Structure formats: C-alpha cells, structure tokens
C-alpha cells in the first residue's frame, strides 16, 4: 500500500526573478520603507500587519530583550569570537545557546504557566484563587515561579512597570497581566521575600495578552538578543576583553595548585 504524502506548504514567502513577497506583501514596494524591524517580525509571525497599538507594545517587548550588559550569553559570544574571529555567526550562536530558563527564556515559562492556570476560554475565572493555588503548587513542588525575582533589580525591575504601562496605554493589559501581578503579590506574602516581576515575567504575561503560543515566546528573546550580541562582538573586535578574561580566570582558578 502506498503512503499518501502530506502536501508540503508554507505561507510565509516566495520569490521569482523579479518579485519577492513576504506574507502577501511585496518586499520592495510594501515593506521596505514602510515597516520597522519589530513590525516586520510581527508580520512574519502572525501574517498580519500590526495595528499602531500592537506595534508599540511588540516593539517595546523586543527592544527590552536586546541588551542587558555583560551577561553569560554576551561572555560566551565574546569568548567564542576570541577563539574564532573568522566566524562571527558562531559567536552569536554561542551566545544564543545560553538563553534558557534562567536568562531571557524564562518568559516562555511564564507564558506557559499563565496559559496553564488560566485557559483563554476561562472567562469568569477567580484570579485571586488561581494565584493562591499557583503559588502553593510551586512551593509544594519546590519550583521557582518563572518570571519572578531578579539578582540585581529589587524591589522593582525598572523595565516591568514601563512595559505594563505601555501595554495598558495600548489596550493590551488584561487578565494575564493582572494574574501575573496577583501571583507576584501572593508569592511575596508566602515567602517573605522580595520577588519582583522581572522583565521576562512581564513580557510573558503581555505575550499571553497577544495570544502568542507559549512555545514560540522564547524566540522573541532569541531574535532580539542576536542584535545585542552583534553589538558585543563589534566592541570585542575593537576593544577586546575575551583573551584577558580567559587568562585572568585561568590564573585565579589554578593559583592554588601552581608552584610559586
């Protein structure tokens, strides 16, 4: 019996010798000069041109994720570039590989948590009860609540109130943002610790307001941080620190076993 092949299909883009279309729009005529980078990303992901409000909020999300200093991902990129300066793309890839449950990628965990405890069709849900149960379940399982806490930014992550304000101003602050705030208050009360909603927690909640699938949310951090890492590599090429970091770490880490 022959197998019926599934049709191969993509609705994103196509090109001929004289035309390029992306999501049904002519790249030269309808996109270039009309879309900024964030708007094009939104079009690529959703197949829709963002409204003015959606554009402001989505651009705020991705801009927030471009840069956060000499992070482990930036160090990985710089050190890779120090060893392989002929391969800029490998250095960027090395930095991106470190975006996970601790750095940047935690917004995926936050959005998945929010969707799980508050399905999109749960119109009359008791948010206070959901927040209490969510915190209780995480504490019982000894799990960190994604999107809460920051090693540096306490008692408030300065990015979070601004992101929430932009979402509110543009009609994209609803039940998921409210629930994230209630979970934070409940978690602080239960633990007695300062647990601010960090930027990725805020972004995770706002992404739920957009309706983005939880499994793709980390991708926003990947595409945004790639821009930041290219900037770090340019600086590394002009004012290197990678070799110095390697030599100083090696000296300190092995000082106790090296002869004087």
Give the domain CATH number at 245: 1.10.230.10
Please state, in angstroms and rounded to a whole number, the distance separating the CA atoms of residues 249 and 109: 33
- DSSP string covering 115-184: HHHS-TT-TT--HHHHHHHHHHHHHHTT-PPTTB--SSS-S--THHHHHHHHHHHTT--SHHHHHHHHHH
| Conformation bin of residue 215: beta by default, left when phi > 0, alpha when psi is -120 to 50 | alpha
Q: Are the C-beta atoms of residues 74 and 97 closer than 8 Å to each other?
A: no
Within-domain flag for 71:
yes
Q: How many of the other CB atoms lie within 10 Å of CB of 177?
A: 22
Within-domain flag for 165:
yes
Within-domain flag for 45:
no
pLDDT for the residue numbered 180: 97
Within-domain flag for 143:
yes
Angle (CA) 126 128 133, round 5°: 95
> Hey, is 189 helix, strand or coil?
helix
Reported as type and span, the H/E element at residue 13 is strand 13-15
Q: What are the tokens at 232?
A: 């770090």
Residues 6+ away with beta carbon under 8 Å from 215: 108, 112
pLDDT for the residue numbered 2: 65
Please state, in angstroms and rounded to a whole number, the distance separating the CA atoms of residues 193 and 27: 51
Within-domain flag for 88:
yes
Within-domain flag for 81:
yes
Find, among 112, 184, 197, 215, the residue nearest to 147 by Cα: 197
Within-domain flag for 79:
yes
Instruction: From first to last of the 260 residues of the chain, give the pLDDT tens digit.
Output: 567 888 999 999 999 999 999 999 999 999 999 999 999 999 999 999 999 999 999 999 999 999 999 999 999 999 999 999 999 999 999 999 988 888 887 899 999 999 999 988 777 889 999 999 999 999 999 999 999 988 778 899 999 999 999 999 999 999 999 999 999 999 999 999 999 999 999 999 999 999 999 999 999 999 999 999 999 999 999 999 999 999 999 999 998 888 87
pLDDT for the residue numbered 124: 85
Q: How many folded domains does the chain comprise?
A: 1
Residue 216 belongs to domain spanning: 67-260
Within-domain flag for 242:
yes
Reported as type and span, the H/E element at residue 248 is helix 242-254
């Amino acid at each position: 019996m022959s197998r019926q092949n599934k049709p191969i299909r993509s609705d994103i883009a196509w090109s001929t010798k004289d035309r390029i279309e992306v999501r049904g729009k002519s790249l030269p005529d309808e996109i270039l000069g009309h879309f900024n980078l964030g708007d094009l990303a939104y079009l690529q992901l959703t197949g829709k041109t963002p409204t003015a409000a959606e554009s402001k909020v989505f651009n705020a999300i991705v801009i927030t994720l471009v840069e956060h200093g000499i992070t482990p991902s930036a160090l990985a990129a710089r050190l890779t570039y120090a060893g392989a300066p002929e391969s800029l793309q490998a250095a960027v890839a090395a930095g991106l590989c470190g975006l996970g449950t601790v750095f940047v990628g935690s917004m995926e965990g936050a959005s998945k948590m929010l969707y799980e405890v508050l399905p999109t069709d749960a119109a009359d849900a008791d948010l206070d009860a959901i927040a209490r149960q969510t915190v209780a379940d995480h504490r019982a399982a000894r799990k960190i609540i994604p999107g809460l806490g920051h090693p540096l930014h306490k008692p408030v992550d300065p990015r979070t109130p601004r992101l929430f304000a932009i979402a509110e101003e543009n009609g994209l602050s609803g039940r998921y943002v409210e629930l994230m705030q209630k979970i934070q208050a409940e978690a602080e009360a239960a633990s007695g610790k300062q647990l601010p909603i960090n930027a990725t927690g805020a972004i995770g909640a706002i992404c739920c307001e957009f309706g983005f699938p939880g499994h793709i949310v980390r991708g926003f951090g990947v595409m945004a941080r790639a821009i930041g890492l290219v900037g770090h590599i340019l600086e590394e090429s002009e004012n290197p620190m990678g070799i110095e970091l390697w030599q100083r770490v090696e000296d300190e880490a092995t000082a106790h076993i090296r002869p004087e």
